[in-house]
Structure 1
Amino acid sequence: MSDSKVLGVLILARHGDRQGFYQSPTSYTPTATKITPLGNREEFLLGQYLRARYLNASSPTFISNVNASIVDPNQVLVRADAGGEGGVILQSAMSLTQGLFPADADYNTTLANGTTVQGPLDGYQYVSIESVEPNNDISLEGWTSCSAFDKSTQEFYQSPEFKQKATESQSFLSQLARFLDGRPVTLDNMWNIFDFMNVRNIHDQEFHNNLPPTFLQQARHLANYHEYGVFSDKELNGIGNIAFRTTIPSVVKNLNSIANDTDPLKFVYYATAYKPFLSLFNMTGVAQMNPDLAGIVNYAGTVALEVRQLADSSKVVRFNFKNGTEDTYKRYPFMGSSSGEVPLEQFIQHLQPAAINSTADWCTVCGNDKDRGCGALALAASQAQESIHQKISPVGAGVLGAGLTLFVAIVMLLVLSFLGLVAFGKKGKRRSIGSVTSYEKA
């Protein structure tokens, strides 16, 4: 399947290096953190790497018919999770796009008086970034405020397998206590343990010199087990896969757009945390076929879903992954295909049944009736039901049962439209803030 051309690509990229970060091991409620200069550099280098691969006309993976010099907003879509690690992820996206579309002297305009004016900073390009606020759009962060997910996490911690792993690792964990500044040394807190060690190992010379050589690797092994167990599920539509299930609708939409000859979209980039990677690896069978991927991706790790057209004009998706800036893309087998390519239609048909397609769906799946728009949905449904009960007799209610459902749906949509809480996926207005685009409902 090597005789193919790249029509476009969808990138899923983790943020760059940051300061210490804590998240609840039961609900994954996060605390604030900040990106570091190293993190910005990692993302900038990733942007340069992606440019060399997809926007260089001499590259075998050059995207056909893309404007590689001056960014065309119709060809490029960038979305960044502005949730738990929002500042880190947004700034990572800024740095990556600087490497992807660097300053260009051709970014200029000629005025009516004949004067040519170049963009500032030698033609610096401001690539629009859609800031995805979790309270308004659940597509990039579906796991927080989700009681069903919290329950699933607790059940994982109570499973015989997890308890056995905790017993097996107790001897090693007991040796970590002196390095953790009083943090709980338990397997269910393993992500926080590893993240603390990893951040200190990168930024604290004394810690780095005193940490035994194998300890970080051993801690990462346990953190990989922990996180993959939380953010995966045996069932495709299981709650453990929620980190990617909420992203599926936009992924499907954008892959179809890339494959459509009449649609200008060529390059899509989602800036995210590490969680969606784990669910994606599980749902596509990548982790099952490549067990080394069943774990946390490194800073600036990326998946590239390339949409390719074969000689017979059929469209396929190729799965590529690079685990950080020091790695290079490798093609991985997935969904039972040893070639690392599957037909686009098959890829979409595989994922769509597990998609969470709206805020209302998410509220139902998560059992949430108050947060992130769910309260407005519940109120609209309650008010609509009350209104109908007041106006229709018991006999009439039996006749109009089917009509009631439609009426309730219409009332809910009108209320949500008024409140600005209609389900994600609707195109909004873009409001520029520096190089970031705030995402407002239309």
Structure 2
Amino acid sequence: MPSNMSTSIALTAVAFLLVSDLTNAERVLGAYIFQRHGDRTAKAWPPTKLTSLGYSQEYMTGSFFHDRYISANSSYKIDGISTDIVSLAQITASAPQDDVIENSGVGFLQGLYPPAGSVAEETLRNGTTVEVPLNGYQLIPMSDVQSGSGSEDNSWLQSTSSCGKAIISSNNYFDSKSYESLLSDTRMLYQSLEPLVNETFSASKLSYKNAYSIWDLLHVALIHNSTTSFPSSTILNDTVIQELLVLANEHELNLAYNSSDPIRAIAGMTLAGEVLTALNETITSGGKSKLNVQFGAYAPFLSYFGLAELSPHNVNFTGIPNYASSMAWELVTDDEGTEIPATSDIRVRFLFHNGTSIEGSTQLQTYALFGQSTIELSWAQFVDETRKISIQSQDEWCQACGNSTGICASSSGAGDNSSSSSSADSCSGRGMSLGVAGVIGAMVTLGVLVGLLVLSMIVFGLRFVPKSAVAGSHRGSDASTVPVMKTTAA
């Protein structure tokens, strides 16, 4: 018995070491984070503003991702990423033009790459030491994304999508039997809230049709308003609060995703394309691009949850994510080299946390995408599945949305799936290239000018004579070949 027990213990120890070695051998090659903004003021009272609580939430979440992806001591550190001073070639940050979302991004990035202190100091040639302001504050620029601008000043989910077919699709929900049923069944519930919200919503607006706006107003009040200015205990008890949240979740999920009408999930389709493009750039650049962070509202979360088949399998993906929630896609490999391995050795895993990642006992959790049974997908499988649900170019977006004005005015609309770069080289449905069109245009213009010149010579009696006849002894080496115009008597 003792001998068998010793053997068992030894085998267990060997197995533990092997698992540890496998864990340590894994390399994170890159990551993409989609981050919801922090706590804000109510949408019913625009302009919305990021609160101090919201700024703090984003800073703490950025600090969490610093500890996961940037810190030299992390087992999930992105391979080769700069740990102290940010390398702008390695990181890309983006946000729509929206005060709440952009300011959330600033707070997050401050936590992601905190002030570098004396590490950021520079010594000039003359020996002078220059200290960076604010203890080495690091600046990370954010680029603009096209969708979502001003989203936090609008209460309707599709208000900033600009996608014609998506707007129509979401509006179709208001004609559905399920909507009509909830509108009728909840009328008394919403009417009972009038004493709490009558300064913002008239009685005619208190219905399921405004489920999210009403919930949002009360949710903000429960966080920020004092008990004297918001006496909610008699009307807004725990049961009512939970019911209003469930209704708001149902309302917004139905506006963001519909399995029989995928265009409704345009926000998630666009995000999926951006994630695929960014992760592919990490691979094709040899790892030069390492981390992408995009900031946004809750619509892309709900849309992506549906498209990636997360919501049908997990109740956590059927509701509006909390402030400062995070989605992340990681590129990982077991290859022990220092370079980007073959794509056959690369896997992708998806992670999500509902709320700031420093709250609660759970942080980022991994979930299986696309209804698969495995947490991690091979790169090839991730690409194939993502292409089915994503939009990857402006032309694809215009075609899917049925838009023909604005940014889509120059799109071919011919039904092809060419990239935005290739579409820029073609003109309208006639297939004429911009180069050829330009040449033809120039020739037509030249012909018109020549015709006008000839007509002017006939009318005014003009003719061409050699410059020598006018310039006399001042002609140069090519004077006789330069024609000048001279007026003669009729």
TM-score category of the 2 structures, normalised to the smaller one = 0.7 to 0.9
AA in 2 matched with 1:239? I
Query: Which region of structure 1 is more displaced relative to structure 2, 204-213 or 241-250?
Result: 204-213
Which residue of 355, 358, 365 maps to 1:324? 355
Residue 120 of structure 1: how far off its partner (Å):
0.8
Which residue of 32, 41, 48 maps to 1:10? 32
Asked if 1 retains the 8 angstrom alpha-carbon contact of 2:95 and 2:296, the reply is: yes
Cα deviation, 1:360-387, whole Å, max 9, x if unaligned, reads: 43333333333x423x438x99xxxxxx
Which residue of 91, 103, 121 maps to 1:91? 103
Change over 3 Å in CA distance of 1:205–1:6 after alignment to 2: same
Report which of the two structures shows the higher radius of gyration computed on alpha carbons: 2
**Which residue in the other structure is 1:81 paired with?**
96
Q: Tell me the SS of whatever aligns to 2:54.
A: helix
Q: Does 1:280 align with 2:304?
A: yes
Which residue of 366, 381, 389 maps to 1:354? 389
Cα distance in 1 for residues equivalent to 2:389 and 2:160:
15
Alignment of structure 1 residues 225-304 onto 2, 5 Å: 225-235=250-260, 238-260=262-284, 262-304=286-328
Q: Tell me the SS of whatever aligns to 1:292.
A: helix
Change over 3 Å in CA distance of 1:368–1:261 after alignment to 2: closer
Cα deviation, 1:175-201, whole Å, max 9, x if unaligned, reads: 223322234122121111111111111
Change over 3 Å in CA distance of 1:187–1:322 after alignment to 2: same
Structure 2, unpaired ranges of 5+: 1-21, 152-157, 414-426, 440-490
TM-score where L is the length of structure 1: 0.78
Asked if 2 retains the 8 angstrom alpha-carbon contact of 1:7 and 1:63, the reply is: yes
**Which residue in the other structure is 1:373 paired with?**
407
**Which residue in the other structure is 1:70 paired with?**
85
Which residue of 49, 57, 63 maps to 2:72? 57
Cα distance in 1 for residues equivalent to 2:34 and 2:47:
22
Cα deviation, 1:37-90, whole Å, max 9, x if unaligned, reads: 1111111111111111111222221212111111001111100111xxx01100
Structure 1, unpaired ranges of 5+: 24-30, 382-401, 415-442
Residue 209 of structure 1: how far off its partner (Å):
4.7
Residue 19 of structure 1: how far off its partner (Å):
1.0
**Which residue in the other structure is 2:178 paired with?**
161
Cα distance in 2 for residues equivalent to 1:351 and 1:142:
25
Cα distance in 2 for residues equivalent to 1:350 and 1:118:
49
Asked if 1 retains the 8 angstrom alpha-carbon contact of 2:272 and 2:304, the reply is: no
Change over 3 Å in CA distance of 1:165–1:412 after alignment to 2: farther
Q: Give the structure, 1 or 2, with the largest relative contact order (CA under 8 Å, sep 6 or more).
A: 1
Cα distance in 2 for residues equivalent to 1:121 and 1:338:
48
Q: Tell me the SS of whatever aligns to 1:214.
A: helix
Cα distance in 1 for residues equivalent to 2:43 and 2:428:
51
Change over 3 Å in CA distance of 1:74–1:224 after alignment to 2: same
Cα distance in 1 for residues equivalent to 2:295 and 2:438:
30
Change over 3 Å in CA distance of 1:356–1:261 after alignment to 2: closer
Residue 117 of structure 1: how far off its partner (Å):
1.4
**Which residue in the other structure is 1:150 paired with?**
167
Residue 143 of structure 1: how far off its partner (Å):
5.2
**Which residue in the other structure is 2:212 paired with?**
191
TM-score where L is the length of structure 2: 0.70
Alignment of structure 1 residues 116-131 onto 2, 5 Å: 116-131=129-144
AA in 1 matched with 2:410? L
- Alignment identity in percent? 30
Asked if 2 retains the 8 angstrom alpha-carbon contact of 1:231 and 1:241, the reply is: yes
